[in-house]
Amino acid sequence: MSKRTAFRLLLAALILVTGALGCARDEPQIAMGVRTANDHAPFYLADKLGYYQDEGLDVAVHLVPSNTEIIEAVQRGDLQAGAVPITTAIAAISAGVQIKIVAMTGRAGDGLLVRSDSGIETLADLRGRRVATIRGSILDVPLRVALQDAGLDPERDVTMIYFTKLGDMIQALETGQVDAASNTEPFMTQVERDGWGEILCYYSASWPDHPCCVVFVSESLRSERPDDVVALMRGHLRAVAYAQDHPHETAEAIVEYLEAFDVPLVEASLDEHKMRIDAEITPQEVECMAGLMHEFGLIERLPRADELLDTSLLRRAQP
């Protein structure tokens, strides 16, 4: 081998090694999928304020268009953690997806919208009316509970119209295609501010402080790198505490990540009688939600509590 060839081979090897090191450095320790929603604010804040870095953790926070896609990406291994409505996480675990719920991120914040001129003043007035919802979602289960509380059978006394997008439901309500639409914050406050619609009720009236979105991690991350999950939880706890104490800055972060709405509107929608950012989670509330989903025929298999969640990592992260 000539000196020139040896030099070229050495150079090529050097480039390959440098490239590989560069790639390895670019790979985050945890890639996380979240949505554009009020109760996903802790992830925007932790990312923005460097809370994950403070824990020595390199976390990439990705905004993903749908809850289903977050779960699918975790299952493929593209993401290792995420935040989705508790109903999505339960449906995924029931179907055999290898994830575990580890913390809460938000409670309540969902309810029913009606048009201001509809004449609907109570839930009981919905008898015989058309109600828009997203089947099996966090807008659906508390809606069914609220209707039952008002003495209505969700399958018989109202006509449930199933949509796939929040915006389509609001449009259908505004144009009179449906009489009520299940929705969430900050869209509900927005509709009220626009003047054509009003909030008939928040589901927290019939199910106080019910769980909304949860943090989950893949089984492989939980079993192979539990300390990283604990560090993630520490960052999450700090971000939740910050969000609870700084509604204005939280609203600013939400507007920045959502690229929609305005700060006063989002701040109004974060009001504590509407929703609550929270990290604590109990097995009882997760089991209760799973039981209701099973009862309503939304999941075929009722998973055991230990399949659904692991609160030990959150406890380890608490000061």
Partner 1 sequence: MSGWRHRIVGLPALLLALVVWEVLPRSGLLNPVFMPPCSQVAWRLWYLLRSGELLRHCGASLLRVTLGFGLAAALAIPLGVLLGLHRRLYLRLAPLVGVLRPISPPAWIPLAILWFGIGNRPAVFIIFVGSAASMLLGIVAGARGMDRRWIEASLTLGASRRQAVLWVVLPALLPSVMTQLRIGLGLSWMAVIAAEMVAVNQGLGYMMVQARNLFQTDTVLAGMVVVGALGWALDRLLLRLERRFLGWRAELEPHDLLAA
| Residues that bind partner 1 in the complex, under the rule CB under 8 A | 67-68, 71-72, 75, 88, 91-92, 94-97, 130, 132, 134-137, 160-164, 167-168, 171-172, 175, 177-178, 298-300
Residue placing its CB nearer to partner 1 in the complex, 245 or 300 = 300
Structure tokens at 86: 């508790």
Residue placing its CB nearer to partner 1 in the complex, 61 or 84 = 84
3-class DSSP state of 129: coil
- Name the nearest CA neighbour of 237 among 178, 266, 280: 280
Residue placing its CB nearer to partner 1 in the complex, 130 or 193 = 130
How far is residue 94's CA from residue 296's CA, in Å, rounded to a whole number? 14
Q: Closest separation between CB of residue 176 and partner 1, Å?
A: 8
Partner residues linked to 39 by β-bridges: none
Strands 275-277 and 99-108: antiparallel
Residue placing its CB nearer to partner 1 in the complex, 155 or 227 = 155
Q: Closest separation between CB of residue 197 and partner 1, Å?
A: 16
3-class DSSP state of 275: strand
H/E run at residue 211: strand 211-218
Residue placing its CB nearer to partner 1 in the complex, 31 or 89 = 89
Residue placing its CB nearer to partner 1 in the complex, 58 or 168 = 168
Question: Do residues 202 and 282 touch, judged by C-beta distance below 8 A?
Answer: no
Q: Closest separation between CB of residue 93 and partner 1, Å?
A: 9
Q: Closest separation between CB of residue 183 and partner 1, Å?
A: 15
Q: Closest separation between CB of residue 308 and partner 1, Å?
A: 14
How far is residue 94's CA from residue 204's CA, in Å, rounded to a whole number? 25
> How far is C-alpha 130 from the chain's CA centre?
26
Q: Closest separation between CB of residue 69 and partner 1, Å?
A: 10
Provide the sign of the torsion angle of the four alpha carbons 282, 318, 213, 221, taken in this order: negative
Residue placing its CB nearer to partner 1 in the complex, 56 or 128 = 128
Cα–Cα separations (whole angstroms), residue 307 to 69, 95, 298: 21, 11, 18
Q: Closest separation between CB of residue 137 and partner 1, Å?
A: 7
C-alpha neighbours within 13 Å on the C-beta side of residue 137: 19
